[in-house]
A = this chain, B = another copy of it.
Amino acid sequence: MSRRSEMLELAILGLLHDAPMHGYELRKQLNLVMGTVRALSYGTLYPRLRDMVRQGWIVEAESVAASPRGARTSRSGRSSARALGGSRRTRITYELTADGKDRFGDLLDQAGPAAWEDGVFDVHFAFFARTNPDVRLRILEGRRSRLEERLARIRELDAASNARRRDSYAAELRRHSIESAEREVHWLVELIEAERSRAATQPSDDNPNHSSTET
């Protein structure tokens, strides 16, 4: 299981850690947490969920199903057969197991170069509240240096290109890329400072996501 694939797994575990969910709902949340415009396909999600069940990180549970939208029990009255709140269809709800929580904690501790990749960073950040302070810091700093490397390369290209012929659109794109990257670096720098001063106040605080430290 390579780095990139762990992003999806981490995101799923993190979302299910907050609340059990069925696939369709999960997909919508994933599309937000992963920070991409492009939507994740079911062809990726469902086979992955089945795989995670096989691994023992999550379990299926037939949903009792809340009412589809709003709290009303369908004002037309018909199909009130299904007692409380009409179920739409089968709906398989997934829940995290104790092993799944352990796995989540393990993935959370992974602060390697993969964690400062474009999509992966956002997922890690989304679960920072449950991440070790030192791991948080490593990820923030890794991301910052990655962005600064990129920034340096764009600036170099920008200087070279502006000297030669001028393509206003290409120049505008570079300008905008530089500005966006600078802004994100600034954001990261502030977060890093906040982390450092927090570390000075509270000493070591262990990862609260392994089931051994919970319950």
Contact = CB atoms under 8 A, between A and B. Distances in A.
A152 to B, nearest CB: 11
Contacts of A36: 118
Contacts of A116: 37
Contacts of A109: none
A179 B32 CA distance: 15
Contacts of A122: 173, 177
A150 B187 contact: no
A129 interface: yes
Interface stretch (A50-58, A91-99, A163-171): A163-171
Contacts of A170: 126-129
Contact of A167 (B38, B129, B154, B173): B129
A114 B154 CA distance: 25
Given A29-B157, A128-B170, 19 more contacts: A32-B154, A36-B118, A37-B116, A37-B117, A37-B118, A37-B147, A37-B150, A38-B117, A122-B177, A125-B169, A126-B173, A127-B169, A128-B169, A129-B169, A129-B170, A176-B187, A180-B180, A180-B184, A183-B183
Interface in A107-155: 116-118, 122, 125-129, 146-147, 150, 153-154
A168 B125 CA distance: 11
A125 B37 contact: no
Contacts of A129: 167-170
A201 to B, nearest CB: 15
Interface centre among A28, A117, A173 (most CB of B within 10 A): A173
Contacts of A117: 37-38
Contacts of A68: none
A14 B167 CA distance: 13
